Structure formats: C-alpha cells, structure tokens
Structure 1
C-alpha cells in the first residue's frame, strides 16, 4: 500500500481544473504534477507532450477532449485531480466531473480574462454548489491584467473575489514574481530549477502602496463573512495570517468568497502557491454535505465504516484492462473481489479490479473507500450515472443530466462487410459518451450519429479509425431542429373496432397549447374518473409522447407543447390500453392536419475575439449568418463581440474566420436555446432535409 493510500480523509481533496480553451489549464496541471513529483519532465501542450492529454488527437490538436484523472501528494495531503476539457463541444465531460467533485480550480487567462466558456463552466459549478478558487494565468504576457481580470470575475460572474497575490513587473512589464499580500513578501521563481526553487524577498518599495491597498481589500472581504476578522478590521488592526486563512476557508466553503491567485504556468510562476491554496481553502470529503438518495429517504456521509455507496461517472475502454468504470466513492469500503448491487438496474456484480488512474496509466489498489475517485473493472452492465452500493443497504443516487445532441450526421461503413464492426464500435463510443446518440433513420435505414458540435463528431469519426480500425463515411452535418405548436386547439377521437366477440373502444378529447421555450412536453389530465379511468392514462401519455417525436412540418420532434386530457369515454368491456393508445395517436394526427405548427432552430451564444483591423469583415460575415451582435468591447488591440447566431449558420465558421483574420481571431459558441425559424426559411429547410 502506498503512502498516498494511508492519508486520512480530512487531508483528501477531490478537485477539478476548469477553464476556457487556451487559458493554460493543461499547462498548469502539468506543473502541478511536476512540483508534486508525479512526473519528472514537464510536457508541453504545444509540443504534443502533455501528460494529461494522452489521446493522439489531444496531442495533435493541443486541446483536452476527455476528462483525465490523476492523484498527487502535497504537504501531506492527497489531491485527486480531474483535468477537464475547455472546448464547448466537450462540455459533458465537465458536467460529469463536476457531479463527483468537492472543489474546483477555475483558470482565467490574464489576457482574455473572463471568456464565454469560463462563464459556462462557472455556472455549471454553481449548479453543483462547488467551492472554487481562481488562478489568473498568463501574467507574463505584457498585455495581461490581473486587476482587470479581478474586476471581470466580480462583475461578470457576480462573486466576491479575494486577491491573495499581485504580479510584480519591471519597467518593461516583464513579470519578475508575485507579491504575497498576506505573507508580505515577494516570491521569485528560479528558472534554472524550472521554478522548483522560490526566492523570498521583501516587497519592493514601488509595490508597497499597491500591496497595502489590495491587502486591505482582501481583509475587508473576509471581514464581511467573519465576525472575528470584522472586529479587528473595525479597530484598524489586521488579523493574524492563521485567522485570515481560516476565515477565508469558511467563506470559500460557503460559496461567499473566491480566493484569487495568479502567475504564469508556462514560465513556472505561481503554481506552488496554487497547490497551497487547494489544500488550505478547498473542502475535504468530510466538509461537503452527505449525498442523498433520489427519494430523499436515505443519506450517506463520507465514512469508511458506513455501508458502501458510489456513483459511476464515466465509462472508458482500455486496451489492456478492458472496460473501465470511473467511480466516486461516497461512503464505505469495498475490497477487490467484493460483491455490490447496481441500484440503477437491480443487478448484482463483482468488482474484480480497482485502479488509481494517472491519465491513461493504472496503479492497482486492494480496496476503495469513502472519498476515493478510482476506476473499477467487473461488469459490463454499469453505465454513466449508475449507483453501485452495498447489497444489504441499497441507495439510489441522482443520475447525471446531459444535454441533447444538436448536430447529426449519417454514417456508413466503407464496405458492407464492415457494417457489424462499425456498429459495435459506435455502440462502445456511445456507451462512453452520454452526449453521443445513435439511431437508425426509418426512411433511409441509415445510421444517424448525433453530438454536441462539428468538432465533437469529427473527433468521434477519427477515433473510429484510430482506435477501432473502422473507416466510416459521414454525410453533411445536419441541425437538430424541433417543431412546435403556435396556436391552441382541441381534438377528439373515438376509436371503435368491432369484429365479433370483444371489440376495441377508446375515446379521448385533448387540448394542445403552446408553452414557453424550453418547457419540453408537458402532459396533464383534467378528465373525470368516470370519463377516462386512471388505468388508461399512462397509455395515453405514452402514446402522446411517442407520436410527438415525429412532427408534421418535417418529421422533427415536437417541443414546448402542453397536452391536457380534458375528456373522453370508455366501455367497461371493450376498452383497453391499446384502444386508448390508438385513439390518442389518431387525435394527434388530426391536430397535425388542422393546427398551426412551425420549426424551431438551436441558437448559439458566445464570443468572437478579433484584432481590431478585421472587425468590419468579421461583423459583415456574422450579419450574413443571421448573427446578432449583443455587445462590443474593446480590449487592448482586440475587439470582443458578444454574439448570438443560429447553429445552422455556423458550419464551416472556423475555416472562414481563419481566412478573414489570417488565423488571428478565435471564437467560442454554445447552444443556449431554441427559437422560431424566420418566415421564408422553413420551406428551404424542409426541402433540404436529409442526411
């Protein structure tokens, strides 16, 4: 058993590292691994050698595609780290990681500051109430601004940042080191030792006034959440560092305060204080509330002696170990060979192997216990979101919610002989990635693959070739439109069949009405029991939902419709679930023929950042794409456009933007809502539908 496995639970930190793409997240993680002794040579993202980006495509593209897990020691603590993707197409990797983490580090670029995907992951973390610290990176860049980033964190994210460091630069704005506001010293990283040695100096006189100002701001913020610090603040006294740190930790755990550090990971500056902050301010498994069952009746605390419970948050194929299931253990202890229950399916299973993961490398363990994040081997039945638990003390935890796909392509094997290989490979990838959907088109009999964006599907198609040896031909990307109802209406259908003996009878009266965007399909019943008995209502709702998956305009699923069963009748002998299902389906097709229906399209929002000299061309191109510019901000030599644009108009946008700006602009867009397709475009969309 390694020393990492003997660390007490109060000294365990389960954290995620999150950021907008290119903020330096993976570079920061590489430095963390180096300074904690987990790797002995730093790998660089731009060289395709980052330890945590182990997939071939990650190394070639210089981006993180899958969330990678690792463990490292620091000052007697064990830090379990999940490095998550920054690209919006892989936001599901962030979602599933946040579900099982206790704390987070959000990295901001000191140049671009708070970007759109930074805000997205911040809101995701808000949903799970995860305490966070912030690290302002890239402060070695002359155009960076720690102070402006602080203001943006406060203004755009609506939180109260507490600055703990300030950058110190020379006259040429070259970053020399970081001023520790609470420790009252300047830290300078020795580059000959790759930043492993830190020299501590007095704060330079030119920085003293600014350091005093920001130290007072930090103490004032902490005083707002701690009475002891407030008393000292009112008296004009400063708290002891230990009191300040304890009070800041409490404010961080409650979500009231965000400790903010800074540095330049690529230049090996600022990473060790970040590690100190992780163990000092972020929670242990003992600091977070107990997990509760879906019904709220059961709960589990982070106690190795309690009944075992864990949540599966990721499934991955390993060429040596086979099918790996990543789990977060919330309570109890389970040894290798232990038997547990999959509470989501009701099936028993045996865990044959347990691994502590380091990117794609594995260290075998003898057991897993409360607070662990590990990978297990043992059953092909465990899926993402399943609960595994003690068979004698079952508990069902809440599943992980994932967004629906917004882009689809038809995929075909290169030859008929490869059809089975392609299908099996796609099924394995769908099992790994809950945002990937696979279905067969009823009209063309083609396999249709759905995902979160062009890059997402492009990565999947390449994984088919590289990991499974299957080459698939893909059609043009298609948008996942939806249909909706614009005006309320009532429909009625009496389904009667008599062919000797017992007949079939079902009679329904339905009222359909439009609902606000994002409402989905809602079913209600106001019919009396003597009109339509309760026995048949599930059959009616199921038939309604099944019929509404295929709309009247172009066969897309319907959305944002309220359907109410307001009346009907039944026959004591001839009525059946089958008859009421048939009546419901026919009634809805009557509504299709007489109602006013239309198309909804996914709308993306985000930012386009372009050098000022290309602003006119970029804005003109966005206008041609039916884009709307909601805000325009000037930052140094670039312009930041907050935009909304229909997803259908963004295919090929990356190539076009590179062409317009000589490769100097970048963008980040995500689907945020569905909206009505403008008049005149519906007919074109219907005519062009096909894969």
Structure 2
C-alpha cells in the first residue's frame, strides 16, 4: 500500500491534487523527543538523509520538510517546545491540517501540552499521539495511555510495544492492534467514523476487513474526536513506518480540512473558497526569515488556487484590524507585486526547486518583498485578506539600546525588519521614557532577538532598566506667582500672572479657568497664559512627567503696553507652576493595570500570595472556561509587572497565563518615589 519509499534530495515532490497532500505538525514539550522523531521520519523517506539524535531541545523556530511517502506528499513541521516560542507553534498549526502530539512515556502530559490540546480541540483539529521514551526506567505505555484518555478523551492505541523485560526496557517491536482485531479499538474506530451500518453488522459478528477499517480510521480521525496513539522508538526505527502509514492513511488531506475566513481587503465578504487548485488564489505567509546568504524567504500555505513563480500577486497585511494595539508595530499595508520569486519545497535547512504550489500545499517563496508573517497573497485583480490565526500577546518588556551611539538610527531600522518577521514581538518607541522597548514572549525570546541583532545584523545591544511612564498631579490647592521681566535693549519681556492651582478627581483631565477682572491681563494674552499652562503641565512640574487632573485658574496679573508679548505670558505661566510645585503640593501617579490570571486550581494559593507581594488588589476569582482552572481578577501596578511572565511561570509551575490592560493611574507610595524618579 505504501509506494516510493524514498526520493532523491534533488527532486521536490509535486502533488497534483489536494487529496495527495498531508500537512502534519509535531507539537510537544522540550525533552519529549519531538525533533528526534521528526528527523527519523524524514530520514525514512529521503534518500541520503541522516537523522540527528540530539533532539534540538533549544530549537527556536518552525522547521519544515516536504517528502513523498507512499501515495502522498507529506509536509511535516517541527515546532519548538519552549513556551517562549508558542507563536511558532501556532503558525505550525495554521499551516497544518492535523497535529501529532509527542508525549514522553516517562514524563506524561504537562500543562503546556494540555493547553495546546484544548486549543486544537476548540478548533476541531484532527490529532494523533506518538508516545516516546518507552525505554526510560519510569516509562509505562499502558499507564501513559490511561493518562491520555483521562486528559484528552478518546485516545486509542493502534499498536502495543513489545518489551520482553517489561515496562522501561528496550522496545523490540510492535503488535498491530488493527491486524489483531482488538475489539475495543475496532469498535471505537467504527463508532467515531459514524459508519452506523457497519457498526451494527460488526456487533452482530460480521468480520471487518482491514481496508475498511483503515478507511473508517481516516473518517474517525477527521472528526477531531478520535485520537490514534502509536508507541515509537525513533533511534531504533521501531514505530516509524507505522507512524508514516498513519499519516498517509489516517490523517486528513487539505481537501478534508476546514479553511480560515477570508475577507476583501476593504472589509467586505470575499465569498466562499474551497481547496481547489483552479480557484482564486488565496494563500498566507506562515513564517518569514531572512538570511545574509539566502535572502528573505516566506513559508506560504496555499488555501485556494495555484501559486507559480513569476506570478503577479497582491500582498495584504491588516493585522491591526484583527488584533488591535496589543500587537502594535505591525502597520496595515497593501501592495501589488509584479511577480513572486522562485518556489521551493523545504527540507529542513535545504530547499528543492518546485514548479508550482497547488491548493493545500506548503511552499517556500523567495524575495516576497514587503510581505510579513500572517500576510495574505492573492491575485491582483481580486485581493483577499485571510483572518490570521490567534496570536499570543507579548507581555515581557525589555528596554534596549545600541552599544554604540552611532548605531542608534540603524537599530530602529533593523528592529522594524525583525517585527515584520516575528508577529510575537511588539516594538515600542516610547516618547515619554525615550526608550526602545521590545515586548517579548519570555527570556529565551529576548535572547534570540538580541543574538539575531548581533550575529545577523552586526548590531550589538545592551539592556537597560525599564522606565515606567509616570504622571504628576497637584494634591493641595495653592497659589502660584510667575514673572517674566527682562530688559535687554529695544523691546523687553514683561508679564506677571497669578494662578490658583487645585487638584481634580482621577481622570478629570486639565481645566483652565479665566477669572481676571479689570483687564489686569489683556484679553489677547489670556490664551497665551493657557498655552503656557498646558505646555508646562505636559512637560511636568516636578520630575519631568506629564501632570494630570488639575484645574488652573488665572486670577490676576500685570502687563506692559510695549514689552508684554505672547511668549512672555507663556513663560510667566510656566514659571508660576514650577515654583508652586514641591514635594508637599505634588504627588507621583503610577499606571495600574487590570490583570486576568488563568491558573490551575492547585496554583491559586501561590499565585494569590505572589500578588500580595506586588501590591496587587484582588477583585475576585471565578472558574475558568477550562476544567480544573481558575481565573483571578486583580489590579496590579505596572511597575510590578515587568517580570511577571517569568515569575508567574515559577509560582504556577508553568500553568499560568495572563492578560493585562491599562486601568487607571493611582498614587505611587512615597517610599518608592525617589527610586522610580532616579531610574
């Protein structure tokens, strides 16, 4: 049933219909043997390919390989296990039509794997499970299957490992449970395939042939409710052929999979699309990389139509339309390209020339100028916009600066390039703190970005303390007196104004009131005083942070018929406010964020205790949408959140996630004022 067991490295597989394609993504935690399994699966089908057995636990990006296996072409994707690179995992899920979860029999199912499983479940994505590390002393395949059933649902082993000396010893072979006609497995496949007639005949004692079982296996997996489980031992090759057969015969083709929503670039409905090579071109960039030798390359999933080299295409990116400001820095853009560059099939770090990419296929596209990850490729006469996949929000900020002053301008340009490649990075050029801030997914993500700046772009950077954008406000009513009197030949400068400054409630903003009587300040200079007041409040009156929530009343003043001017009264107003400001009349305000924290129930206590140490105010808890988890609603000063993505992982044992949004400003405790102002 499986043909063409190997193909030369120089020959890229060229499917002619979507039914011949299998797009499969491997997901799992570090140490489960995922990348080792990927290498051995590829090596089993690509002549001359030698697997590496180091498992690449430090992998940071999506790795793809396209190869022929039997009657199909497999586009296999390997994803990083580190949670800092969950964006690469989600890109892999968008590119694929089925997910192969890699679970260590020695370590079981960790929380990050459970969370990813729930994401796939919500999307109805077909899944299978490869169980690894069966030779480990703690490994027990039957216990692992029981855990999978308890956590995932209808997980059914299609094979049983042969371990002559018992669990945790070397695997010498597999027992094919389908060939053995194990009743519970057969019944589960027939039931989930919704082949009711066959189920009835089977229960009445009719023998079901193996070919029918395999057809029903394909239908059962496609429902997203039945999950085949296969034991594997990659380095000995045990389970590799069985897993490749499962990919070919049991996992869905792009023609069986769902499609993302598609819009017109102006926001209207694009109309239905199907996985049809003859349909309108609709494709999406799932990963963007640039290399000093190879140049810019885009990994593209084609959903409809056929993409050919030298085709003119429309490139559209409207990430802000879907994700808003939480992924700022990715500006909306539309452009027509005269032609796309060469197409190639990925094979790990290599690539092989490809004549075209039909609907359902994955392809590398060279020199796709201006295209960013999540961008849509479509025909120039019918531009389309694919709704992007759910993108994780970068929540760990790090302030950086170029090590050399002369590289500051270059840094801004290079960072824009990195943003176009990595949609899990947000760039914030903060005009208040005058810092370059990268919002990242975690410390490993930070290390990758800084390494890329230094090695790829020869631009070394260094981190600096993160400054928080504070506010100032008057807390006591006071009188302010400002004078601008200068005589230096010719027209001088003369202006005197008396102000009354009063605090307002939080969020009230700035008010200016004119109560001058008797023309003490001529009418033409009232606006000058207001302008000077607002300019000084915007610059700050004590520590250089904008002042908010204050009423300033002009009560009196003096002028000169010759020497008074607009600028003189602006200056006098600013002087009055600065002289009225001191540590007794002005307080500092810090931003407070509303934070929703989703953690496993057993981590609620440690998470609440940690919040108390962050000056957090807990407003309540409620059950999460996911069983066994709780959502904590709190308000936390932004000053206390700079390392929260790292610290939450620690206190919640990796089970916690959170979102944050600005809520308000509130008083900064006096004992922190000096430290914050000095940073």
Under a length normalisation based on structure 1, what TM-score does the superposition of the two structures give? 0.66
Distance 2:468 2:197 in 1: 57
Cα distance, 1:237 vs. partner?
4.3
Distance 1:180 1:121 in 2: 29
The answer (yes or no) to whether the contact 1:355–1:375 under 8 Å persists in 2 is yes
Cα distance, 1:261 vs. partner?
0.9
Cα distance, 1:603 vs. partner?
4.1
Equivalent residue, structure 2, for 1:373: 362
Cα distance, 1:464 vs. partner?
1.6
1:37 and 2:46 equivalent? yes
Given candidates 162, 171, 184, the residue that maps to 1:217 is 184
Given candidates 317, 327, 347, the residue that maps to 2:290 is 317
Structure 1 residues 643 and 418, CA gap change in structure 2 (3 angstroms): farther
The answer (yes or no) to whether the contact 1:133–1:258 under 8 Å persists in 2 is yes
The answer (yes or no) to whether the contact 1:98–1:128 under 8 Å persists in 2 is no
Equivalent residue, structure 2, for 1:123: 118
Distance 2:191 2:366 in 1: 48
Structure 1 residues 296 and 289, CA gap change in structure 2 (3 angstroms): farther
Equivalent residue, structure 1, for 2:444: 455
Cα distance, 1:461 vs. partner?
1.1
Structure 1 residues 64 and 28, CA gap change in structure 2 (3 angstroms): same
Given candidates 425, 429, 435, the residue that maps to 1:436 is 425
Given candidates 77, 90, 94, the residue that maps to 2:89 is 94
Over the residues paired in the alignment, what is the CA RMSD in angstroms? Answer: 4.3
Distance 2:590 2:40 in 1: 59
Distance 1:181 1:169 in 2: 16
Given candidates 149, 162, 172, the residue that maps to 1:168 is 162
Structure 1 residues 39 and 406, CA gap change in structure 2 (3 angstroms): farther
Q: What SS class does the counterpart of residue 338 from structure 1 fall into? A: coil
Structure 1 residues 429 and 648, CA gap change in structure 2 (3 angstroms): closer
Q: What SS class does the counterpart of residue 217 from structure 2 fall into? A: helix
Structure 1 residues 463 and 479, CA gap change in structure 2 (3 angstroms): farther
Structure 1 residues 3 and 674, CA gap change in structure 2 (3 angstroms): closer
Given candidates 7, 14, 25, the residue that maps to 1:16 is 25
Under a length normalisation based on structure 2, what TM-score does the superposition of the two structures give? 0.68
Structure 1: tracts of 5 or more residues without a match: 47-58, 185-211, 482-487, 504-546, 548-553, 556-592, 610-618, 631-640, 658-665
Structure 1 residues 389 and 93, CA gap change in structure 2 (3 angstroms): same
Given candidates 157, 177, 194, the residue that maps to 2:173 is 177
The answer (yes or no) to whether the contact 1:229–1:244 under 8 Å persists in 2 is no
Distance 2:104 2:643 in 1: 29
Given candidates 343, 347, 351, the residue that maps to 1:354 is 343
Equivalent residue, structure 2, for 1:78: 73
The answer (yes or no) to whether the contact 2:27–2:34 under 8 Å persists in 1 is yes
TM-superposition CA deviations, 1:383-421 (whole Å, max 9, x none): 222211112233322123322221111101111012233
Q: What SS class does the counterpart of residue 45 from structure 1 fall into? A: coil
1:139 and 2:134 equivalent? yes
- Which shows bigger deviation, 83-92 or 646-655? 646-655
Q: What SS class does the counterpart of residue 296 from structure 2 fall into? A: strand
TM-superposition CA deviations, 1:21-71 (whole Å, max 9, x none): 21111010011011112553221226xxxxxxxxxxxx5xx3221111111
Equivalent residue, structure 2, for 1:249: 218
1:466 and 2:455 equivalent? yes
How do 1:479-498 residues align onto structure 2 when only pairs under 5 Å count? Answer: none
TM-superposition CA deviations, 1:439-490 (whole Å, max 9, x none): 1222331211110112211221122222222211113579999xxxxxx999
The answer (yes or no) to whether the contact 2:159–2:174 under 8 Å persists in 1 is yes
Equivalent residue, structure 1, for 2:304: 331
Distance 2:602 2:83 in 1: 14
Distance 1:687 1:602 in 2: 30
Q: What SS class does the counterpart of residue 224 from structure 2 fall into? A: coil
Structure 1 residues 621 and 472, CA gap change in structure 2 (3 angstroms): same
Equivalent residue, structure 2, for 1:108: 103
The answer (yes or no) to whether the contact 1:20–1:116 under 8 Å persists in 2 is no
The answer (yes or no) to whether the contact 1:625–1:650 under 8 Å persists in 2 is no
TM-superposition CA deviations, 1:205-236 (whole Å, max 9, x none): xxxxxxx7xx2221232232321342134214
Number of corresponding residues: 521
Given candidates 172, 175, 196, the residue that maps to 1:227 is 196
Cα distance, 1:273 vs. partner?
0.7
Structure 1 residues 654 and 233, CA gap change in structure 2 (3 angstroms): same
1:393 and 2:393 equivalent? no
Q: What SS class does the counterpart of residue 30 from structure 1 fall into? A: helix
The answer (yes or no) to whether the contact 1:603–1:675 under 8 Å persists in 2 is no
The answer (yes or no) to whether the contact 2:607–2:648 under 8 Å persists in 1 is no
The answer (yes or no) to whether the contact 1:109–1:137 under 8 Å persists in 2 is yes
Structure 1 residues 643 and 395, CA gap change in structure 2 (3 angstroms): closer
TM-superposition CA deviations, 1:623-666 (whole Å, max 9, x none): 779799x9xxxxxxxxxx99999976768879999xxxxxxxx9
- Which shows bigger deviation, 362-371 or 267-276? 362-371
Structure 1 residues 676 and 394, CA gap change in structure 2 (3 angstroms): closer
Structure number with larger C-alpha Rg: 2
Equivalent residue, structure 2, for 1:56: none
The answer (yes or no) to whether the contact 2:18–2:358 under 8 Å persists in 1 is no
Structure 1 residues 279 and 688, CA gap change in structure 2 (3 angstroms): farther
Structure 1 residues 496 and 410, CA gap change in structure 2 (3 angstroms): same
Structure 1 residues 479 and 275, CA gap change in structure 2 (3 angstroms): farther
Q: What SS class does the counterpart of residue 459 from structure 1 fall into? A: helix
Distance 1:432 1:308 in 2: 23
Structure 2: tracts of 5 or more residues without a match: 1-9, 318-332, 471-504, 515-522, 528-537, 539-544, 547-586, 622-627, 633-639
